[in-house]
């Protein structure tokens, strides 16, 4: 059965001693305590919401609610501050999910696009998944056994499948199979019965089994970092910057995919991607159009993409690419998918400027 949780549970779900001297904590000092949990709460909300911006809003609202209602926590006697904050963050996220449709990626929303047709217009109403910086992922504190699954639990493949679950099932699966909470702890957080938790968890796991690759395959895609992988990524960057379409396509799997949210069009297969590249991204006679800066997102290789602006003689942020590699069929990795998020402002969350000088 599908599971991303560690095999050996070494601590309770929150891995934290209860706060027993709550009377000595005022709202100011507790605010500093809240901040120590910000990164892991951000990661939890991101998994639930599929959006970096929504997660930041949810965590900010969590901190505000916690500060305003800290007296209700102190009045209950000794307890886990982390568990209390997770309860607020989870319910805040569930409130947000009531107001909008699930996020997804073009590859899960529509059939592949014919590369000979004009590119579809950007979708203004559709909500797409957003990338998550690896640097923020590293700052989130988790139990030792959870580190093995951290990258997978924010991979685009996992998040896309996760969005198929109803919000409460999504929260229960994350709390159980990613954060390693017990059913009784989840029941207390959501204020439902243990039987309801187990029933929802079973349904969630069945759905994920049908829509998500095996753990072994996903981990091979996400975590493989060696000399061959580094060489492939170097060649990938060079092919983009030199406009070498044939060299770029040669790095792709035969059935590779290219998607560009918020554009719903996406392409599958080397020849379809080659046609799109030549027609749109690498037109004849245009040189030095692209600059790429390596980074990592969602536990995977990524690139910040800059496009030349002839008017200002500078390179402006154009996209954030997340590159999924697959080395399951040979010793040499290949590019299985490229997801280019065409939202330039995203690059600032990865520590990159919106503009580069030539």
pLDDT tens-digit map of 92-149: 999 999 988 889 999 999 999 999 999 999 877 778 999 999 988 877 665 544 433 6
Q: Where are the domains of the chain?
A: 22-102+164-218, 224-357
Q: Is 292 helix (H, G, I), strand (E, B) or coil?
A: strand
* pLDDT tier, 337 (very low <50, low <70, confident <90, very high otherwise): very high
**pLDDT for res 26:** 59
What pTM was computed for the model? 0.88
**pLDDT for res 16:** 56
The dihedral formed by the CA atoms of 77, 82, 83 and 87, expressed in degrees to the nearest 10 = 110
* pLDDT tier, 313 (very low <50, low <70, confident <90, very high otherwise): confident
Q: Between these two residues, 133 and 287, which has the higher pLDDT value? A: 133
* pLDDT tier, 222 (very low <50, low <70, confident <90, very high otherwise): very low
289: Cβ contacts below 8 Å, ≥ 6 apart: 243, 281, 282, 307, 308
What is the spatial distance between Cα 76 and Cα 168, in angstroms, rounded to a whole number?
26
Helical pair 52-68 and 81-97, crossing angle rounded to 10 deg? 130
**pLDDT for res 23:** 47
**CATH number assigned to the domain covering 22-102+164-218:** 1.20.140.160
Our separate counts of H helices and E strands in the chain read 16, 7
* Residue labelled with tokens 């965590």: 59
pLDDT surpassing 70 at residue 216: no
The stretch 245-249 carries a mean pLDDT of 97
What is the spatial distance between Cα 322 and Cα 299, in angstroms, rounded to a whole number?
9
**pLDDT for res 235:** 97
**pLDDT for res 212:** 84
**pLDDT for res 143:** 55
Mean confidence (pLDDT) of the chain: 85
Rg for the chain (alpha carbons), in Å? 22
Instruction: Identify whether the C-beta of residue 86 lies closer than 8 Å to the C-beta of residue 14.
Output: yes
pLDDT surpassing 60 at residue 218: no
Percent of the chain residues past pLDDT 70, beyond the cut = 82
* Per-residue b or e along 162-184, where b marks 16 or more CB atoms closer than 10 Å to that residue's CB: bbbbebbbbbbbbbbbbbbbebe
The stretch 183-208 carries a mean pLDDT of 95
**pLDDT for res 335:** 95
The stretch 86-93 carries a mean pLDDT of 97
Q: Between these two residues, 18 and 285, which has the higher pLDDT value? A: 285
**pLDDT for res 86:** 95
pLDDT surpassing 70 at residue 306: yes
* pLDDT tier, 79 (very low <50, low <70, confident <90, very high otherwise): low
What is the spatial distance between Cα 109 and Cα 333, in angstroms, rounded to a whole number?
27
The distance of Cα 231 from the centroid of its chain, to the nearest Å, equals: 25
Q: Which of 343, 347, 348 is nearest to 123 (CA)?
A: 343
Q: Poorest-confidence range of 67-76, 216-225, 323-332?
A: 216-225
**pLDDT for res 139:** 73
pLDDT surpassing 80 at residue 76: no
pLDDT surpassing 90 at residue 312: no
pLDDT surpassing 80 at residue 150: no
**pLDDT for res 7:** 39
State the architecture of 224-357 in CATH terms.
Roll (3.10)
């Amino acid at each position: 059965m599908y599971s991303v949780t560690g095999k050996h549970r070494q601590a309770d779900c929150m891995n934290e001693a209860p706060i027993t001297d709550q009377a000595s904590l005022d709202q100011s000092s507790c605010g500093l305590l809240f901040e120590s949990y910000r990164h892991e709460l951000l990661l939890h909300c991101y998994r639930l919401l599929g959006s970096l911006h929504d997660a930041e809003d949810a965590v900010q609202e969590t901190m505000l609610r916690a500060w305003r209602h800290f007296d209700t926590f102190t009045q209950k006697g000794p307890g886990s501050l982390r568990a209390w904050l997770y309860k607020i963050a989870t319910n805040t996220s569930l409130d947000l999910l009531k107001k909008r449709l699930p996020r997804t990626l073009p590859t899960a929303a529509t059939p592949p696009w014919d590369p000979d047709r004009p590119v579809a217009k950007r979708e203004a109403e559709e909500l797409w998944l957003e990338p998550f910086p690896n640097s923020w992922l590293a700052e989130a504190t988790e139990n030792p056994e959870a580190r093995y699954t951290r990258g997978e639990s924010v991979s685009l493949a996992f998040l896309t499948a996760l969005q198929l679950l109803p919000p409460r099932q999504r929260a229960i699966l994350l709390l159980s199979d990613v954060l390693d909470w017990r059913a009784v702890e989840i029941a207390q957080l959501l204020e439902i019965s243990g039987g309801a938790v187990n029933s929802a968890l079973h349904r969630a796991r069945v759905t994920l089994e049908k829509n998500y690759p095996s753990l072994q395959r996903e981990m091979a895609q996400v975590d493989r970092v060696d000399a061959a992988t580094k060489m492939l990524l170097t060649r990938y960057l060079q092919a983009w910057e030199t406009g070498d379409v044939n060299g770029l396509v040669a790095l792709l799997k035969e059935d590779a995919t290219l998607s560009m949210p918020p554009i719903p069009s996406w392409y599958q297969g080397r020849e379809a991607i080659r046609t799109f590249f030549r027609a749109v991204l690498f037109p004849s006679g245009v040189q030095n159009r692209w600059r790429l800066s390596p980074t990592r997102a969602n536990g995977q290789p990524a690139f910040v993409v800059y496009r030349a602006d002839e008017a200002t003689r500078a390179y402006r942020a154009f996209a954030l690419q997340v590159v999924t590699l697959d080395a399951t069929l040979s010793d040499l990795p290949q590019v299985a998918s490229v997801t280019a998020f065409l939202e330039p402002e995203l690059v600032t969350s990865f520590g990159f400027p919106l503009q580069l000088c030539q």
